[in-house]
Amino acid sequence: MSNGTTVTEFLLLGFSDTRQLQILHFVIFLAAYLAALVGNLLVITVVTTDHHLHSPMYYLLADLSILDLGSISVIVPKSMANSLLNTRTISYAGCVFQVFFFFLFHSADFALLTIMAYDRYVAICKPLHYEMIMKRRACIQMAAGAWAAGAINSAMHTGNTFSLPFCHSNIINQFFCEIPQLLKLSSSDTYRRELATLAFSAFLSLGCFAFIVVSYIQIFTRVWRIPSEQGRQKAFSTCIPHLIVVSLFLSTAIIAYMKPISDSPSLLDLLATVLYCVVPPLVNPVIYSMRNREIQAALKQLLHRLILSKNNMHIFVL
């Protein structure tokens, strides 16, 4: 593009120029998206409809599923549409939308995982005060705080990025609008403008990470003091799903963002980004469902009610 031209759309990096591989990419992303959609919607449904799950832990879990649904819905459908239609374009407004909501959902996700660590800390270390501390109003306020922190972080990054001029090129070497790739397209010096934004993000991320670590140090110290082995196993079992989810979130983020930014990303670079964007929303419902008997029981009851209602409707029609 000429230096005097204002960018009105961007070109995203495709996984392949071969039509058969584009269709394969569409099918794989469609299967992953539908699986994530079904899994997270089931978690939200059972938590909201089963009164046995109306507790702070499950309320936060439902909120996590909402964030996971949002994060994967911002990225994957557009990538699928581009592969199916054999195009690479995304509008300027669409790119702004992707950047804002991707950062919103992922920042709020990490903040909510921090709140869930605090919930486990209170449940194990202060069980007699759990209901008093983790009241419904307190849970709503903490969850709202996570969304607000994510919105502030996202607004700062989005506003800082798209206030820059894009004159050199409109080709993004990624399958979605990623801020590091967008900054490379700017014709101005972005160091100082990014410094304050990065400082806030680092403060938020390191603060959440430190809080999670301190919470689990307190939890493990408390659990090891439980005299019975059965009691220790029960306490650990309530923490294992959360620990797995946090580890997955952090490990995929480190793999995706600690790698050097390349002018021509390899297949491994794309797979690392897919791992970060697609895998956590896909497997989080499975992790919590496989390790939680109450959710398993609620899922069975929900499926049983659906089958009965379908049979009754069939009989009524006949």
CA proximity to 116, closest of 159, 61, 171: 61
Over residues 149-177, the mean pLDDT reads 85
Percent of the chain with pLDDT over 90: 37
All residues at 6 or more sequence positions from 247 whose CB lies less than 8 Å from its CB, including other chains: none
Give the tens place of pLDDT for each residue, 193-215. Answer: 666 666 777 788 888 999 999 99
User: 125 to each of 225, 235, 281, how far by Cα in Å?
Assistant: 11, 10, 29
| Contact indicator for 29, 76 with CB cutoff of 8 Å | yes
Across the strands, what pairs with 172? Answer: 12
| Contact indicator for 101, 74 with CB cutoff of 8 Å | yes
Give the tens place of pLDDT for each residue, 58-81. Answer: 999 999 999 999 999 999 999 999
**Which two tokens mark 287?**
């992790």
For tokens 């390899």, the residue is 266
Residues in the chain: 318
The most confident of the ranges 25-34, 247-256, 291-300 is: 25-34
Phi and psi at residue 54, to the nearest 5° = -85, 70
Q: What is the distance between the alpha carbons of residues 63 and 48, in angstroms, rounded to a whole number?
A: 11
Percent of the chain with pLDDT over 70: 87
Q: Terminus-to-terminus CA distance in the chain, angstroms?
A: 65
Residue 121 C-alpha from the chain's centroid:
22
Across the strands, what pairs with 9? Answer: 91
* pLDDT tier at 316, thresholds 50, 70, 90: low
The most confident of the ranges 30-39, 248-257, 268-277 is: 30-39
* pLDDT tier at 253, thresholds 50, 70, 90: confident
Q: Which H or E run includes 9?
A: strand 9-12
**Dmax over Cα atoms in the chain, in whole Å?**
73
pLDDT the model gives residue 4: 44
DSSP state, residue 264? S
* pLDDT tier at 100, thresholds 50, 70, 90: very high
Phi and psi at residue 166, to the nearest 5° = -110, 100
**Which two tokens mark 213?**
């670590």
Burial class (CB within 10 angstroms; exposed 0-12, middle 13-18, buried 19+) of 267: exposed
Residue 316 C-alpha from the chain's centroid:
42
- Ordered alpha helix ranges (H), the chain: 19-49, 56-85, 92-125, 130-133, 136-162, 179-185, 191-224, 229-257, 267-277, 279-290, 293-317
Residue 17 C-alpha from the chain's centroid:
29
| Contact indicator for 102, 151 with CB cutoff of 8 Å | no
| Minimum mean pLDDT range among 26-35, 99-108, 177-186 | 177-186
How many CB atoms sit inside 10 A of residue 238's CB?
16
* pLDDT tier at 259, thresholds 50, 70, 90: low
Q: What is the distance between the alpha carbons of residues 225 and 153, in angstroms, rounded to a whole number?
A: 40
Residue 192 C-alpha from the chain's centroid:
29
Structural domains present in the chain: 9-317 (1.20.1070.10)
